A and B are shown apart, each in its own frame.
Chain A
Amino acid sequence: VVVQPTENFVNNNVVKPIVNNVVKPLVNNVVVPFVNNVVIPYAKANYNALVASYNTLSNVGSQMWNGYQSFTKTVRDEQQSFYHSVNQDLQGFARDVTHLHITDMNRFLTGVLLCAATAALVVAAVYAAPEAAAAAAGSEAFAVAGVAASAEVAHGLVEVSTGALLLGAGCVDNIAGSVAD
């Protein structure tokens, strides 16, 4: 009974005036314009920027994906082309080799003989090089002896290399001249 009038009094004389004179104007004049003019545009701008970023990234990703697919396709095509080319070359080579036949057996055998002599001379010369001989002996003592004897070995090497060159030329000439496709 006592409280009711007091409450009404506070309501009518304190709360209502404050709400009507302070809060409402504050909301209407400050908060609403602030939300309308600042918060919403800001959020909207952010949202648009996000959407734009997403679209951009999406485009970039899409382009990258397309580029990757194009690249893999190119690589695959190149590989196929390369294998095809190599295969054709190998088939051509195999065809050439299998179609080779000896037209002059006498000359072919002479070519083989000269090739064998060339190979034997070249290997003999390689294993007579002073450094190789010293390394093979595995001794410092022989290395000195090897260097001392190098003049002798080099002397023989001139004749051997001349002979190997001539025999090699004869080998190639005779074998090439005795086979035909």
Chain B
Amino acid sequence: VSVFDLTKKLNLLPLFALPCIIVAVALENIIGIDFTTILGTIGGTSLIAYYVWKNLELRLPKYVAARKYLNIGLVLLGFGTLFVSIASVENILSSSGSAGIPLKILGTGIFLSGALGMIFAFVVIRPKPYDPA
């Protein structure tokens, strides 16, 4: 897979993420809170991943300096999304309204730590000054 193909695929990511978020937020009353959770977290994570990877491609110094922590944050966001999605599916399939709550709490914790880790990386890590030599 060439770099051009990857860039092209990366640019398609918002086309997937934004409709997910729009449906999740605007149609929450129709689709229910569980589908909103699934679509919202998938859309949000995709959009964050798109923006981070795009800026890493553009080699923005802040992003390059924090690359390691941003990738860890994205992995945590991904795991959080996976856990809350499984919890939401469990909730949809279960007759009880609070079936997947413990798993959702766990997923929310992972998702939060990923988001906070990324924010922390942006705020704390400083890029090295430009050295022409």
Contact = CB atoms under 8 A, between A and B. Distances in A.
**A and B: interacting chains:** yes
A109 B55 CA distance: 30
A40 B20 CA distance: 107
Contact of A113 (B37, B47, B58): B37
A159 B47 contact: yes
Contact of B28 (A128, A132, A141, A170): A170
A114 B61 contact: no
Contacts, number: 156
B119 A117 contact: no
B126 A106 contact: no
A124 B49 CA distance: 10
Interface stretch (A2-10, A24-32, A62-70, A160-168): A160-168
Describe B's contact surface by its main secondary structure.
helix
Interface string B54-76: 11001011110000000001000
B133 to A, nearest CB: 12
Contacts of B98: 105-106
Interface string B86-122: 0000010000011001001100100110111011001
Contacts of A152: 54, 58
Given A106-B91, A114-B40, A160-B47, 15 more contacts: A104-B33, A105-B101, A106-B104, A110-B37, A116-B116, A117-B115, A119-B115, A127-B63, A139-B129, A141-B130, A159-B47, A160-B51, A163-B43, A166-B22, A167-B44
Interface of B: 14, 17-18, 21-22, 24-26, 28, 33-34, 36-37, 40-41, 43-45, 47-48, 50-52, 54-55, 58, 60-63, 73, 77, 80, 84, 91, 97-98, 101, 104-105, 108, 111-112, 114-116, 118-119, 122-123, 126-127, 129-130, 132
Interface of A: 104-107, 109-110, 112-114, 116-121, 123-128, 132-133, 136-139, 141-142, 146, 149, 152-153, 156, 159-160, 162-163, 166-167, 169-170, 173-174
Q: Which 3 A-B pairs have the closest CB atoms?
A: A139-B130, A117-B44, A116-B115
